[in-house]
Amino acid sequence: MQGRKNIAAGFLFLAAFMAYGFVLIYLRDFAPGKEAWIADYAVGKHFESRLAHVHGNLFAFINVVVGYLLLRLPVGEFAAKGISWLTLAGMLMPLGILAEVLFGVPPLLVIVGGVSMVAAMAWFGVAAIGLRPIGGGAER
C-alpha cells in the first residue's frame, strides 16, 4: 500500500521545517546582530532561507495529502509507486536550498526536487482523470 511513507515522511519533514521556522524567528528577533539580518531580509541567503522554510512546509503537506489519497483512491500500483517516490523526491528541493545557503552546494538538488514534484503532481492529475466514481453515485 503506497502512501504510508509519504504521510510519515511528510509529518516528520513538516516538524523539521516548522522548527527551522523558529530558527528564522530567532535570527530575526533575538540573535545578536539581528539588525543586519533584518536589513538583508529580502535578498541573498536570507531570502533563500525563507524559501527553504516555505517550500519545506508546503512539500511536507503535499506528501501527507498525496499519501492519504494514495491510500484511499484506486490508483494503479505502478502509478501509485511512481507518484509516491516522485513526491518524496520533491522534498529534495527545500533541502537543496538549505544546502546552497549553508554549504554552497550547487542547485542540483533544487532542480531535481522541483522537477520531481511537478512530475508527481502531473502524473497524479492524469491518474485522477481515469478514476471511476466510488460508491455508485453519478459523476457530476
Inside any domain, residue 135: no
**Model confidence at 68, in pLDDT bands (50, 70, 90)?**
very high
Q: Confidence class of residue 137 from pLDDT cuts 50, 70 and 90?
A: low
Among residues 92, 117, 100, which one has the least CA distance to residue 48?
Answer: 100
Q: Give the dihedral sign, CA 33/18/15/54.
A: negative
The pTM score is: 0.91
What single-letter amino acid sits at 118? V
C-alpha cell read off for 118: 511537478
> What's residue 111's pLDDT?
98
In a domain, 138, yes or no: no
Question: Which pLDDT band, with edges at 50, 70 and 90, does 43 fall under?
Answer: confident
On average, the pLDDT of the chain sits at 93
Report in angstroms the alpha-carbon separations of 31 from 23, 48, 109: 10, 19, 29
Distance between CA atoms of residues 39 and 91, nearest Å: 29
In a domain, 106, yes or no: yes
In a domain, 136, yes or no: no
Structural domain harbouring 50? 4-129
